[in-house]
A = this chain, B = another copy of it.
Amino acid sequence: MATENPAETAAEPPTDCADDLAYDVFARDCPSRDALKHVTDRWGSLTLGALLDGTFRFNELRRRVQGVSEKMLAQTLHALERDGLVHREAQQTNPPRVDYALTPLGHQVARQLQLLIALVEDRMPQVIEARERYDARHPAG
């Protein structure tokens, strides 16, 4: 949108994305919004990032993704598996053992996510400075 006041001149955007065969996270009911959420929410992003390092068992992942609860990690892996990003493989061992790994699609997405994570980590000194400037201008009262 290149107009000066896009919201005033543009027609109401569609609320889903099925009609034009294009997926659009800005559309309220587009399933891409959920998929993006699974990839980028706190535990989803850290889980995908961890799995870039290889195959992990559940408890290994829990140690790597610090602070995640058992329940939240299970939910996260479930959503990523359903979206086709994570492959879950139960090994026929005694005791039984379940491995989690990225699918090829999950690898593509995790690599792109990793670039974002690396950028944010790299720019943290600027972010910290900005926070200090902001807090100095807006003292808690």
Q: Which of A32-51 contact B (CB under 8 A)?
A: 32-33, 35-37, 39-42, 45-46, 49-50
Contact pattern, A 121-139, Cβ under 8 Å of B = 1, otherwise 0: 1111011111101110000
**SS of A interface (majority):** helix
Q: How many copies of this chain are found per oligomer?
A: 2
Residue contact A127 to B35, C-beta cutoff 8 Å: yes
- Which of the residues B7, B82, B108, B117 comes within 8 Å of A64, measured between beta carbons? B7
Residue contact A108 to B134, C-beta cutoff 8 Å: no
How far, in whole Å, are A27 and B49 apart by their CA atoms in the complex?
Answer: 13
Residue contact B121 to A112, C-beta cutoff 8 Å: no
Interchain residue pairs with CB less than 8 A apart (18): A5-B60, A6-B56, A6-B60, A7-B59, A13-B63, A15-B66, A25-B117, A31-B124, A35-B120, A36-B120, A39-B120, A41-B42, A82-B135, A83-B127, A108-B123, A109-B116, A112-B115, A115-B116
